[in-house]
Structure 1
């Protein structure tokens, strides 16, 4: 019996990998980084390294810009609000499970 191969997610992605995975030009990814829309770190040589979730973040920025005609400043605000909603929904599910007492009780 053979086991199926599991996909391996690299711990970090370079600019070209993020661009290819998200279907955009590398300069657009760099622009999103420069605007603070997609976080990355740099190594000693100045090369950008992105987290494995960066392609999805790039696709989200592109979708918000194209579908809702938001400018990049508004997109940053929307992304921040979506992250806050995720945190609140997570806390809500913990409270509903009874593992935590709500702060209002």
Structure 2
């Protein structure tokens, strides 16, 4: 090898191959997820360009967020911000968020 470099050992090559493979999987997963979000946003963007008629109800959605079992409410908020909110914003849909702090709170809220 030039400049006195050594040939990498078998273990170094195995580690590099495994680390590169995992890094490639993570990168491609993130890339495909971003492409999917972009495609979905483009599919609903026509709603933002079209004005509501006089006799139409406004486009409004109520989103109920609750904690997943064993996790806190912050993870659900993060999923909403990452996956749902960009689509609602691209479609110019107003939304109202209702969060359940305790189990059964959503059911009572819907019944009211």
TM over 0.5: no
Q: Return the structure number with greater relative CO, CA threshold 8 A, min gap 6.
A: 2
Structure with the largest fraction of helix: 2
TM-score, normalised with respect to structure 1 = 0.29
Return the structure number with greater strand share.
2
TM-score (norm 2): 0.27
Larger radius of gyration: 2
